[in-house]
Amino acid sequence: MFSLVLHSHLPWLANHGRWPVGEEWLYQSWAASYLPLTEMLTRLASEGRHNLLSLGITPVLGAQLDDPHSLAGMHHWLGNWQLRAHESTDRALAIRVHRAAASALDTFETQWRHGGSAVVRRLVDAGTIELLGGPLAHPFTPLLDPRLRQFSLAEGLSDAQTRWGTRPNGLWAPECAYTPGMEVEYDAAGVTHFMVDGPALRGDTTVGRPVRDSDVVAFGRDLQVSYRVWSPKSGYPGHSAYRDFHTYDHATGLKSSRVTGRNVDSADKAPYDPELASAAIDRHVVDFVDAIRKRLRAESARAGRPALVVAAFDTELFGHWWFEGPVWLERVLRALPEAGIDVGTLDDARSRGYVGSPVELEDSSWGSGKDWRVWAGDAVEDLVALNAEVVAAALDTVDKSRDNASIPGQPELRNRINDQMLRETLMAVASDWAFMVSKDTAAGYARERAHVHAHALREIADAVNQGHDAAATRLAAQWNRADGLFPALDARRLPSGRR
């Protein structure tokens, strides 16, 4: 059996800059990945195809796809994309981009204009996909205080229930990160299975494995298959016929070149040829399907039982980073059954018995070194310290606030100040900031974002601790207007700090 898993995630970008890092990142991914992916899945669903893949959508991305500001910005961006096509002096490029923008505008206006929830819900209800959940704001959970970790997960699953009408029992933990004990928290939250990287299972990813003494199953990414598509050093998107991601026309922002060669300067790149790219897609579909078939046969023979292969990727690879990715993906999903390969979701794999013996899973992630260095290494020592300070301040302040407001025999009332302190804390400790710093991709932006949310938390907490209730209320409301996501977050559900 083959399972495809996609992880869709971007940090909260609305109202936090536009270019070169900020909302532009969201709109590019939306146009290039989320629109074509859901269109493709809708087409396959209309043909009666079910359980095609497991799709993870983080709560923070789901919030942006429903956010009124982001929806208006996306509509404007698509219109501007079409206008940029008209400014191109390359007629063939202008025609291609105009048609793509017009199609995207039509899809957005008819399917997405009031938010992404309805689009995703239809795919879930049709049984086309399995939806994977995740914790609010995408924190690096092994380094998070267990109380806040449990709270973030429970709120994230509840957010999915509200947004998509289903509470996921499968999970893509941020960065596939794990530390012993999290399986107990998963079990308590109703999570039955989650993703880890292949090396966490010591390379044997042919079945899911119950973790330690729990019934929660860990599925591992098969690197041998996944790396054919994308790895730290190679993969299909680097083929010479595909559109080059980094080369673009500075007057219009449009991309008109193909990769041509790894060591070819941008000025010397050959023009993009759609027919040449389509032929390369077909060859890579054949190669991928053949690789899966060989891997399934070899692993089934080695293990003496039917094997499972799980390939997992960031959704944004398909379209945003690799222009031809959505087309390749649709052709693969059509070709696999034709080649006699059984396709299903992770939940299918679990329910159909692709589960082996328990594993003593250890600290792991899918980052560099498969450990925690990206999120806890020397390069981000300052962010690790900041996160610890922010979390401690938030929990201490919220605990004292709840204790002071407690009246024996009376229900606890909702406190919007406490809600906002936890909201800002989770935004401050998002795993994206450490990743961007460690990888030196817009590190300044990442540090600024972490400190903005840390400042918001400190400002509100200081007012609370000084007894300035009116100021705390005003500050909480102002910061909430700045980032109005997760309105259902409720601090009353934070596990008690009392021993």
Active site residues: 175, 314
C-alpha distance from residue 38 to each of 112, 157, 316, 358, 366 (Å): 11, 22, 13, 36, 26
- CA atoms of 101 and 83, how far apart (whole Å): 9
Of the chain, the end-to-end C-alpha distance in Å amounts to 46
- CA atoms of 180 and 364, how far apart (whole Å): 10
Q: Give me the count of residues in the chain.
A: 499
Residue type, 373: R
**Dihedral sign (CA 156, 108, 77, 318):** positive
As given in the structure block, the two tokens for residue 56 are 């993870």
| Helices (H), ranges, 165-273 | 182-188, 223-229
Report the SS3 class of residue 382: helix
Beta bridge partners of 178: 364
Beta bridge partners of 375: none
Report the SS3 class of residue 267: helix
Sheet order of strands, 170-171 included: 209-210, 217-221, 193-197, 170-171, 129-133, 53-57, 2-8, 309-314
Query: Roughly what angle, to the nearest 10 degrees, separates helices 469-482 and 443-465?
Result: 160
- CA atoms of 109 and 87, how far apart (whole Å): 23
- CA atoms of 489 and 14, how far apart (whole Å): 19
H, E, C per residue of 133-150: ECCCCCECHHHCCHHHHH
